[in-house]
Structure 1
């Protein structure tokens, strides 16, 4: 859980930074400095349409602000700040009205932000909203930026409080605001409130027929998983994949279906990723092959592993060769299974794989090789079912018409109660076959 939270912390910070930049851009549009062509009369006429009675922005102050704005646009931040500092010197501060002061602090905040001095930018924006009788739109936008800057500095509680003040003043809040609030609650580990807000953001986008952002889905999915709501997490992941079909999501979907015990859907998700060339790791390909085998599709399992070996994606180890040989054998592709199992057996120190190789030789009517492989297996030891291996040995000798060796092998197998009945049946069958052959010879 700690690792996952760290990853989301980095995401939250990135979201906050982006949001802060967006907020600054929106705020600048509210400042008269953003449109230097406005006359004082036009500005006053616009202010009269506000719900508050805002003081006028005088021409002399407007000109100074324009001077600072021009310097800032030319990246001469030092000059811009000097002009602003002179405007809010002790005497100047007393001479400026609240709206004029708000615009001075607004531009000063932008200068601090451009220097990545977020603490000073935050203080300047706090000074903006502390001025009485500024335009309502200006206060609303500035409060949003204050919240964003708190998030940038990881002041999560202060950011949430500032954002809640903004919500109280705003109508029809956008989805991004709910996501920002969700990120704040996430950082404070208040997961229920975090989930509530990110759900709201996603629903706002759905109602507008817009695609919710990828990181919103991921946050919601994490929060559902954290509270053990696997069904909701699965639903979010399925929706996420319709818009953002990435490998990791297909693989995660497969694992979630596995947790639900639905192997068919697990196979479907992994197969979908495979046909899109998204699976490129040894474990992923082995997992897909194993799913094919469990669902009775051994040929596809063999093709996946075979291609994995050819592409250098499946590791050159005993287990993978054993899995591939077993896939070909189940698919009745004995000729393909034999060389693969030979390789697997040669790489193993145990006799078990030689025992399996003996079985495959028997399936391929290579009886002498079957005898050699089983004898090697029994000599090496480590065979899981020696009784079964001896049954195979007996069958190979029988097909070579080496009846005494066959009888000896069957009797040895029958000493294990698990193979006792089967060994007796083979001995009876062999005796009847010997008798039949004698009668044919006599006749």
Structure 2
């Protein structure tokens, strides 16, 4: 993150006669002459000991202290002890501000380095109080850098600083996720938009900050706009595609205007199919979601094609409920026989379950084909493993009664009433009574015939 040369500024006479002279004491100069061999040997500990010796004896407000503090900070950077560089660099910066020991450019460099160091301290700290303090310091240094920078608006370094500033503002703003500081989040958004307007080639991280800000604001429309930019700029990153589809799905769910909801669902479909053309979003869950989106926009034909193809080739999970849903989808497009064929195809996948046979029986019954309905409900009961066995036996009772199979109908009604799911059916006891009445009438008629 940081890089700076271990150099010391040359002597320039101070403009203020009351300020400490901007020149090194002779002893300090002699000690600094011993520094270079240590740097060449990368003997950072010995170099630090030398510099700390200088700091221990010179005046607190002297030019020597400013130089020694600056060099000490850079030595800590070389050692990788970044947190220890902050205090000596802050001292060098303060002395430079107070007595003009350093030129504007070098002071700007210190300010930016300090912003980076404080930001890193904040992100690595486990203490919320320390995080807050270091984020605040980083913000202060970046505000100063931007205010004093003479770089033009389109300069890459300025754009980079604005993006960094936006990131720090955002991180500070969401430090407490349960109670984000929306004013800081807003400022982060303003900074990143300013940076994006001036950047020739914006970095991906800039859009991610903008994305995070929009998320905090629950601005789903903005999220969609940003993600559209990201998938255009980085089409090979699958996560952006799934996020884009999710955002359009959320917008559709939130929208009260049916036409607008349909528009967002259509965008979600388009985004998913664009992703699939690139090889992404091809899991069974994704294909099932695509089916659902087509279903939601009323494109039942296309929805059915996707679901049936997926169940056949395995791109949609082999779940019994999915086969039932496929049959329902065919019925939506007025293809009841295709629905029955799909259910029969599904029985090959689930041979031990009678649920699909039961569904086929109900479709046949709705088509006024009681004989076919009777055959399939019998198959369903033989296989078993039904969601509502009582309902299945009750249905058999109705069909058998209609076909004149009264003994079987009565037995089925009695069996149905032993299951909890059928005991709430108020029509079943009436059916049983009707069957019993029919049996008595038939018996009486038989006796009358016999008597003649």
* Fold-level similarity (TM above 0.5): yes
1:199 aligns with 2:189: yes
Question: For residues 357 and 317 of structure 1, what CA distance do their matches in structure 2 show?
Answer: 17
1:149 aligns with 2:117: yes
Question: Which of 1 and 2 has higher RCO (CA within 8 Å, sep 6+)?
Answer: 1
Match of 2:443 in 1: none
Match of 1:272 in 2: 271
**Structure 1 residues 309 and 88: alpha-carbon distance in aligned structure 2, compared to 1, 3 A threshold:** same
Q: Given the two structures, how large is their TM-score scaled by the length of structure 2? A: 0.63
5+ residue gaps, structure 1: 1-20, 34-39, 398-402, 418-443
Match of 2:438 in 1: none
Match of 2:450 in 1: none
Match of 2:45 in 1: 81
Conservation of the 8 A alpha-carbon contact between 2:285 and 2:317: no
SS in 2 for 1:187: coil
Once the 2 structures are TM-superposed, how far is the Cα of residue 372 of structure 1 from its aligned partner? 1.0
Question: For residues 364 and 54 of structure 1, what CA distance do their matches in structure 2 show?
Answer: 105
Match of 2:375 in 1: 372
Question: For residues 312 and 68 of structure 1, what CA distance do their matches in structure 2 show?
Answer: 68
Conservation of the 8 A alpha-carbon contact between 2:248 and 2:265: yes
Question: For residues 283 and 231 of structure 2, what CA distance do their matches in structure 1 show?
Answer: 21
SS in 2 for 1:157: helix
Structure 2 counterparts to residues 275-314 of structure 1, below 5 A? 275-277=274-276, 278-309=280-311, 312-314=314-316
1:257 aligns with 2:260: no
Conservation of the 8 A alpha-carbon contact between 2:269 and 2:294: no
**Structure 1 residues 88 and 113: alpha-carbon distance in aligned structure 2, compared to 1, 3 A threshold:** closer
Once the 2 structures are TM-superposed, how far is the Cα of residue 405 of structure 1 from its aligned partner? 7.3
Once the 2 structures are TM-superposed, how far is the Cα of residue 357 of structure 1 from its aligned partner? 1.5
Conservation of the 8 A alpha-carbon contact between 2:112 and 2:145: no
Question: For residues 287 and 74 of structure 2, what CA distance do their matches in structure 1 show?
Answer: 53
Q: Which moved more, 1:368-377 or 1:121-130?
A: 368-377
1:162 aligns with 2:137: yes
1:138 aligns with 2:106: yes
Conservation of the 8 A alpha-carbon contact between 1:290 and 1:301: yes
5+ residue gaps, structure 2: 123-129, 150-157, 256-260, 414-425, 429-452
Deviation string 1:286-344 (CA, Å, 9 cap, x unpaired) is 22212212323233223333444455442222122222333345456667644541354
**Structure 1 residues 160 and 275: alpha-carbon distance in aligned structure 2, compared to 1, 3 A threshold:** closer
Match of 1:325 in 2: 327
Deviation string 1:17-66 (CA, Å, 9 cap, x unpaired) is xxxx1xx22xx26x636xxxxxx8xx558999xxx998257975664454
Match of 2:174 among 174, 186, 209: 186
SS in 1 for 2:302: helix
Match of 2:155 in 1: none
Question: For residues 322 and 289 of structure 2, what CA distance do their matches in structure 1 show?
Answer: 11
**Structure 1 residues 251 and 185: alpha-carbon distance in aligned structure 2, compared to 1, 3 A threshold:** same
Match of 1:70 among 40, 65, 81: 40
Deviation string 1:178-209 (CA, Å, 9 cap, x unpaired) is 32232123215543133223212321233225
Conservation of the 8 A alpha-carbon contact between 1:280 and 1:313: yes
